[in-house]
Structure 1
Amino acid sequence: MISPIALPRVMRIGGGAADQIGDVVLSLGLSRPLLVTDSFLVNNGAAAKLVDALEKAGLAPRVFGETVPDPTTDSLEAGVRALAEHQADSVIGFGGGSPMDTAKALALLGVQGGQMRDYKAPRNNVGPVLPIIAIPTTAGSGSEATQFTVITDSRDDEKMLCPGLAFLPTAAIIDFELTVSMPPRLTADTGVDALTHAIEAYVSKKANPFSDSLALAAMATIGKNLRRAYEDGADKTAREQMMLAATQAGIAFSNSSVALVHGMSRPIGAHFHVAHGLSNAMLFPAVTAFSVRAAESRYADCARALDVATTDTDDRTAAEALVTALSDLCRDVHVPTPKDYGIDKAKWDELIPIMAEQALRSGSPNNNPIIPTDAEIRDLYAQIYS
């Protein structure tokens, strides 16, 4: 089997790496980047620090700080205008998954035009696009190293997966020091998101030896460090390890795939405005329990990587231990159910058929060890509510 593997051309990893943004942009032959970020990073001065580094390198940056959580087709319009007004030759996505997803979308729209719904799966997008430089400030999405962006269609609240090499950043700067101020809830949600990426990449029907090695390494690291980072945000060792694991998991699923958890998670985020990592966490134990019988040996490997089973444990017992371990992890980092989150049950039940349809349409469930039916997805949504 030949596995197509794609990675960012340039990666700078380590504490203080963000200070090298000017050198990275110059090395790519670029001069007019649009820094795509959010109001929080503008207001706390982090964006200004990057602008200063860019200007000291002789570059001409402009800041677009109007990204929103779970970016929508409507929210992209101002960014497309900012690209044109600045005559930008590149985009820098600075922040969590939402600013990076926004930057990826703008890089494509700024060259090809149209609407993001024109580029959603199953279309495979290969370009042309503006060069993308990604600088994550959370340890979770892995978007700095993936061939995907996720944008919500403002017309019908469909959270669209848009795949292809067009969305792979040219450069990624991974600086764990940017994550030290993350609050516990965000640390937990993004950390469970990274673990979901790693496990789904490993059990996916598209898994390969390259993605497997990174997925297992990420699992082992997250298992040792997520609770530490959640309990003590100032633990720099745990922060550094979680940042590295998130990128490893991102590379793994970008070169394999995600599966049913992500397919079901996107509609929850779109309809109920639940953060992506949190909606993944809500689903993770139940979807794993549903899927585990179809790939016991693969899930058993995950259990061993997380150190909740040993090489002497038979596969069935190890796979069952993984399901228990995921439930324990979500309990320990206080993942709420949809009910506890405050979602109205009548509204939840009303939208289950639409969410199931959108989950299947995304294509991600087709990569799952068990390809679910519409009825099975509906049942899983009903199970996790409370």
Structure 2
Amino acid sequence: MFAVLRAPSQVLFGAGMAEAAGPVAATHGRRVLLITDPVIASTPGFGTVEVSLRAAGLDVAVSTDAEVDVPSAAVDAAVALGRETQPDAIVAVGGGSVIDLAKVTALLLAHGGAPSDYYAVNSVPGPVLPLIALPTTAGTGSEATPVAVITDPASDMKIGVASSHLIPRHAICDPRLTLGAPPVVTAHSGIDALSHAIEGYMAAEADDPDAELVLGRPQVGKNAISDSLALTAAGHIAANLERAVQDGDDLEARTGMLYGSLLAGIAFGNSGVSTAHALQFAVGAATHTSHGLGTGLLLPYVMEFNRPARPDDLAELARVMRSPGSAVDHVHALGQRIGLPGSLADIGIERQELRGMAEASFKFKRLVDNNPRPLDEDALEAILDAAWHGDPARLSRERSDDRGGAEGMSALTSQSVRS
């Protein structure tokens, strides 16, 4: 048995936990940088956090410059305010982009340089400023992960900075903070959380894992602890996502979603994700659609592609999600019920663009190499083509029609995470 667990040193979960932000932050010093975005800044939940911080006697500097996909201008503004106010800790209240901005800000305030200095996996040299994360969406799991996704100004592509040092010190998860999320945000962030759980569960397995592998990378592939967390997460998300989209004031559904998102974040924070995320980087750059829309739309196609390598895992996912049929069909139908587009064609992608997207996605080796079946550009293009047609079964039909084809489309063995 092989297992790894890296997670926040403290997780506080439950309705009303946002009021703990002040006492928790006070354990790190007297000055706090509070990071959010302009929309969240006007919500009652943000007010609860700010009141808690000030009631604890803290000096609070507020940054509301966070933007979706964390552009460089947002990073520059938050870092400048941090250098001016010299915080002892950073508090992030918001969705994944807000928390990712806080992670990069905590990194640059501690170690200097530019975000691009840390694009290489595990290149963060040591601990960053203490970070307290309060998610307002049930989706990214960023409150518990070692990854910050930002927009690279040179390529205009999203790229991940990955290091165990980026895991927030404290995750305070209060489902009341998620009550204001609109249906579209709830749907896209929620299906992204499901993709974290499923891709984390179906991640590649290491061959003979050893200390060098574990210490050399923040995410180590499929393991016993991540499997347990991912399955529990998938069950909670599948049971609550549609309810949360339909009724944003359903606190029980919001609680189930936030719990599932947290567990999925811890799971994939240790195992890693793979192909749906690699493909989404190219799809998102081409269409400027949300991260969750892309991963959620692509997820059932990736699951179908991986079926030959992991039939037992798909059966177990079907069981925990209480699927009436296959896990692939369940996830695909769930996406349609919560309003995801039916195909890549529906978001404006032309079929002739698919090859270029496949080639761009193949460059995300950290993700591609974590897939349980070997991948090449042809395999990635086949997944995209099925998604362009809106038909996951197209991949299984191609397998039947092309027995003995190229290795990327026919190999049934698992891919090692060791690169």
Same fold (TM over 0.5): yes
Q: CA deviation at 1:49?
A: 3.5
* Alpha carbons 1:108, 1:127 under 8 Å: kept: no
Equivalent residue letter for 2:322: D
Q: Which one of the candidate residues 300, 305, 309 is aligned to 1:285?
A: 300
Residue 364 (structure 2) pairs with residue 378 (structure 1): no
Give me the identity figure in percent: 35
Taking a change above 3 Å as real, the CA distance of residues 349 and 119 of structure 1, as seen in their structure-2 partners, is farther
Picking from 323, 327, 330, the partner of 1:325 is 330
Q: Which residue of 2 aligns with 1:229?
A: 244
1:362 shift after superposition: 4.4
Matches within 5 A, 1:1-386: 1-27=1-27, 29-44=28-43, 46-205=45-204, 206-308=221-323, 321-336=326-341, 337-341=343-347, 343-345=348-350, 349-350=352-353, 352-353=355-356, 356-386=359-389
C-alpha root-mean-square deviation of aligned residues, in Å?
1.8
- Distance in 2, Cα, partners of 1:118 & 1:56: 38
SS at match of 1:154: coil
Pick closer, same or farther for the CA change 1:371–1:126 going to 2, 3 Å: farther
Aligned mates of 1:43, 1:64 — CA distance in 2: 13
Maintained 8 Å contact 2:282/2:360: no
CA distance in 2, matches of 1:126, 1:220: 37
Q: Which amino acid is 1:100 matched to? A: I
SS at structure 2 position matched to 1:22: helix
Corresponding residue SS for 2:39 = helix
- Secondary structure (helix, strand or coil) at the match of 1:133 reads strand
Q: Would the aligned equivalents of 2:279 and 2:357 in 1 still touch at CA under 8 Å?
A: no
Q: In 2 relative to 1, CA 82–45 (structure 1 residues): closer, same or farther, beyond 3 Å? A: farther
- Which letter maps to 1:335? L
Matching residue's letter, 2:279: M
1:293 partner SS: coil
What is the one-letter code of the residue matched to 1:95?
G
CA distance in 2, matches of 1:120, 1:4: 23
Greater mean deviation of Cα atoms: 374-383 or 228-237: 374-383
TM-score, scaled relative to structure 2: 0.84
Instruction: Give the paired residue count.
Output: 372
- Inter-partner Cα distance in structure 1 for 2:77 and 2:354: 30
Relative to the length of structure 1, the TM-score reads 0.91
Contact 1:259 1:365 in 2 (8 A): yes
* Structure 2 residue ranges without an equivalent (≥5): 205-220, 390-419
1:218-270 CA-to-partner distances (Å, cap 9, x unmatched) read 11111211111111112111111111111011111111111111111123223
Amino acid corresponding to residue 151 of structure 1 in structure 2? I
Q: Deviations along 1:284-309, whole A, 9 cap, x unmatched?
A: 11111111111111111111111126
